Amino acid sequence: MNIEQTRNGILRTLDNKGGNVPMKILHAYSKLIHQVAHKEFSDVMEGLVNDELVAFDNDTFILTNKGLELVKDL
């Protein structure tokens, strides 16, 4: 697993899906595309939240304005 590729892929997926995606959809995407296990997924998503690139509310990840700006450059 490449952490940076996984992070970028998740951010692009969030952007492509309109900026918000349920956790189970992102987890399935990460597992299928990036071979990310449960613990790794949690670590990646915690990092994205801590970096203020995504927010988490009601089992849904939401792309923040900061995350949206970053996605434009990916």
Q: Where are the domains of the chain?
A: 3-72
What pLDDT does residue 11 have?
A: 95
With beta carbons less than 8 A apart as the criterion, state whether 13 and 50 touch.
no
Structure letter (DSSP) for residue 59: T
With beta carbons less than 8 A apart as the criterion, state whether 48 and 11 touch.
yes
Q: Which helix (H) or strand (E) holds 63?
A: strand 60-63
What pLDDT does residue 60 have?
A: 94
Q: Which CATH architecture has domain 3-72?
A: Orthogonal Bundle (1.10)
Identify the band that residue 1 occupies on the pLDDT scale cut at 50, 70 and 90.
Answer: low
**pTM of the full structure:** 0.87
What tens digit of pLDDT does each residue of 18-64 get?
999 999 999 888 887 778 787 888 899 999 999 999 999 999 999 99
Task: Tell me the three state secondary structure of residue 16.
Answer: helix
What pLDDT does residue 53 have?
A: 97
In this prediction, residues 6-29 reach a mean pLDDT of: 92
